[in-house]
Each structure stands twice: as structure tokens, then as C-alpha cells.
Amino acid sequence: MSNINITIRMDKELKAQADTLFNELGLSMSTAFNIFVRQAVREQSIPFIIANHQPNAETLAAIEEVKRMKADPSIGKSYSSASQMMEDLLK
């Protein structure tokens, strides 16, 4: 089986981090990419989950509530100390 060269562009800092990780695992960058490609071909998919996690309705509502509270500090409770807040929460 003959080999070919492939050029990949990536952020300099990301490459340094990857080099460090792969070296710790006893791998070269080339070996790590070959492992990735072989697994992708074997599984006929990217061998890990690529997801764009969207907040659910409850989280979106909480985000909106915080935005309203930041715009109008009179909404909600405020505390002068963490211990005061904890006391109120534990009632």
C-alpha cells in the first residue's frame, strides 16, 4: 500500500495541544489522524458525536428571566451576603 501526503490547516495553539496529547498517548499526529480516518471509514460516519446542543424551553425561559432581571433589578430578590441568601434558600 503506497502512502500520500495530506496538508491540513489548523490553529497553531490547537496543533501544539494536539501534539502534546498525542505524544502523551504515544502517537504521532499522523498516526492519530490515520486512526480517526480508519475509524470513520469503518463506521461510515464521524466516530464521535458532532452536535449543536440547543437549550430546552426551560433553559430558554431561565435565560429570558435573567435578562429581564438584569434590565430591571427590582425584579427578584437580592441579598447582601451569600450566608443571607443560603439562609433564605434553606427555609
Spatial distance between the Cα atoms of 52 and 84, rounded to a whole number of angstroms = 38
Q: Which residue in the block uniquely carries the three cell numbers 489522524?
A: 33
Spatial distance between the Cα atoms of 21 and 10, rounded to a whole number of angstroms = 16
Domain count for the chain = 2
45, 24: one domain: yes
75, 68 contact by CB (below 8 A): yes
Q: Which domain holds residue 64?
A: 57-89
52, 46 contact by CB (below 8 A): no
Q: Model pTM?
A: 0.54
**Grid coordinates given for 32:** 492519530
46, 66: one domain: no
Q: What is the pLDDT along the chain (91 residues), one digit of tens a residue?
A: 799 999 999 999 999 999 999 999 999 999 999 999 999 999 999 998 888 888 999 999 999 999 999 999 888 888 899 999 999 999 8
68, 47: one domain: no
